[in-house]
Structure 1
Amino acid sequence: MIVAGNFRVEDRHQGIEVSCALRGEGFPDRLTFHAPHATAHTVDVAQPNWAAMALIWPAMLMGQDLVIEADLSPLLLYNMQNDLMALMRNYEPRLKPIRITAGLSGDIQPKAGRDVMTGFSGGVDSFSTFALYTRPQVPPSLQMTALAVFQVGALGPTARSEELLPPAVAHARAHADDHGLKTYSLSSNMDEVFAPAKPFGPVDFRTTVGFRNAAAALLMQNGVGTYLPSGTVAYNRATFGPYSCTEPLDPALQPLFSTEKLRVQPAGAGLSRIDKIALIADDPQAQRRLNVCISPPGRPRPTTTLNCSACWKCIQTLLVLEAMGKLEGFAPVFDLGFYRANRRRLLQSLSDLAFGQNYLTAQEQILYARAHGLEVPRARGKAERRLRKLARAVLRRGQGKPYAPAHAGAITPPGRRASPDATSAPEGS
Structure 2
Amino acid sequence: MILTPAGTRESPGGVTLAFEVRREQPDTEPFELQFEVPAPHADFLSTGIEPALIAALFPAMATGETIRTAHPVSSRLAYGLKQIMDYFQLWFPDKLQAVPIEAPRHQDSPATGSRTTGMFFSGGVDSFYTLARHQADVESDPCLRPRYGVFVFGFDLTEGRLNEYIQLADRYEKVLQAQGMSLVRVRTNLRAMLDPAHPWLYTHGMGLASVAHALDRGFRTLLIPSTNRFSLYMPPNGSNPITDPWASSESLELLHHGCEASRINKVRAIAAWPPVREHLRVCWQETHGVLNCGACPKCLKTQLILWTLGALDHFPAFPPGFSLDQITPALIRPLNPGAYPHEQTFAEEWQALVTTLRPEAMARVNQLVPRTGRLSRWVKQFKR
Write the mapping of 1:247-396 to structure 2, written as runs, cut at 5 A: 247=239, 250-297=240-287, 305-330=290-315, 332-337=316-321, 339-340=322-323, 343-344=324-325, 346-348=326-328, 351-353=329-331, 355=333, 364-371=345-352, 372-373=354-355, 374=362, 375-376=364-365, 377-378=367-368
Write the mapping of 1:206-217 to structure 2, written as runs, cut at 5 A: 206-217=201-212
SS across alignment from 2:224: coil
Identity, % of aligned positions = 24
Distance 1:40 1:359 in 2: 43
**How far 1:290 sits from its partner (Å)?**
0.9
State the partner residue of 1:32: 34
Write the mapping of 1:111-126 to structure 2, written as runs, cut at 5 A: 111-126=112-127
Distance 1:168 1:91 in 2: 35
1:175-229 deviation digits (Å, cap 9, x = unpaired): 11112211101111113212553xxxx33x3231111111101111111111101
Distance 2:14 2:228 in 1: 35
Provide closer, same or farther for how the CA distance between residues 33 and 131 of structure 1 changes in structure 2, counting only shifts above 3 A: same
CA contact (8 A) 2:136 2:142 kept: no
CA contact (8 A) 2:14 2:38 kept: yes
Task: Give ranges in structure 1 of 5+ residues lacking alignment.
Answer: 299-303, 381-429
**How far 1:108 sits from its partner (Å)?**
3.0
Write the mapping of 1:181-200 to structure 2, written as runs, cut at 5 A: 181-197=181-197
State the partner residue of 1:71: 72
Distance 2:154 2:306 in 1: 30
Letter in 2 for 1:60: M
CA contact (8 A) 1:232 1:267 kept: no
CA contact (8 A) 1:73 1:108 kept: no
CA contact (8 A) 1:352 1:379 kept: no
State the partner residue of 1:89: 89
**How far 1:88 sits from its partner (Å)?**
1.5
TM-score, structure 1 as length reference: 0.76
TM-score, structure 2 as length reference: 0.84
**How far 1:27 sits from its partner (Å)?**
5.4
Letter in 1 for 2:142: P
Provide closer, same or farther for how the CA distance between residues 27 and 268 of structure 1 changes in structure 2, counting only shifts above 3 A: farther
SS across alignment from 1:251: coil
State the partner residue of 2:224: 229
Letter in 2 for 1:179: Q
Write the mapping of 1:129-144 to structure 2, written as runs, cut at 5 A: 129-136=130-137, 137-144=139-146
Distance 1:188 1:216 in 2: 8
**How far 1:164 sits from its partner (Å)?**
4.3
**How far 1:162 sits from its partner (Å)?**
4.1
Distance 1:4 1:259 in 2: 18
SS across alignment from 1:259: coil
Provide closer, same or farther for how the CA distance between residues 364 and 323 of structure 1 changes in structure 2, counting only shifts above 3 A: farther
SS across alignment from 2:318: coil
Provide closer, same or farther for how the CA distance between residues 148 and 297 of structure 1 changes in structure 2, counting only shifts above 3 A: same
Provide closer, same or farther for how the CA distance between residues 336 and 85 of structure 1 changes in structure 2, counting only shifts above 3 A: same
SS across alignment from 1:208: helix
Distance 2:161 2:5 in 1: 24
CA contact (8 A) 2:5 2:49 kept: no
CA contact (8 A) 2:231 2:337 kept: no
**How far 1:281 sits from its partner (Å)?**
1.0
State the partner residue of 1:412: none
CA contact (8 A) 1:119 1:149 kept: yes
1:383-413 deviation digits (Å, cap 9, x = unpaired): xxxxxxxxxxxxxxxxxxxxxxxxxxxxxxx
CA contact (8 A) 2:9 2:17 kept: yes
CA contact (8 A) 1:116 1:226 kept: yes
1:60-97 deviation digits (Å, cap 9, x = unpaired): 0111111133111110101112x211111233331112
**How far 1:173 sits from its partner (Å)?**
0.3
Letter in 1 for 2:204: V
Q: 1:152 aligns with which of 151, 154, 179?
A: 154
Provide closer, same or farther for how the CA distance between residues 365 and 33 of structure 1 changes in structure 2, counting only shifts above 3 A: same
RMSD: 2.4
SS across alignment from 2:17: strand
Letter in 1 for 2:152: F
SS across alignment from 1:266: strand
1:40-77 deviation digits (Å, cap 9, x = unpaired): 111112x2211111110111011111113311111010
SS across alignment from 2:122: coil
Number of aligned residue pairs: give it. 351
Letter in 1 for 2:151: V
Q: Which runs of 4+ in 1 moved over 6 A?
A: 356-360
Letter in 2 for 1:370: Q
**How far 1:370 sits from its partner (Å)?**
2.1
Letter in 2 for 1:269: C
Letter in 1 for 2:2: V
Letter in 2 for 1:114: R
State the partner residue of 2:358: none
Structure scoring higher RCO (CA < 8 A, sep ≥ 6) equals 1
1:147-170 deviation digits (Å, cap 9, x = unpaired): 110123221x3x446444312311
1:111-157 deviation digits (Å, cap 9, x = unpaired): 223221111111111111111011334302201111110123221x3
Letter in 2 for 1:352: A
CA contact (8 A) 1:230 1:267 kept: yes
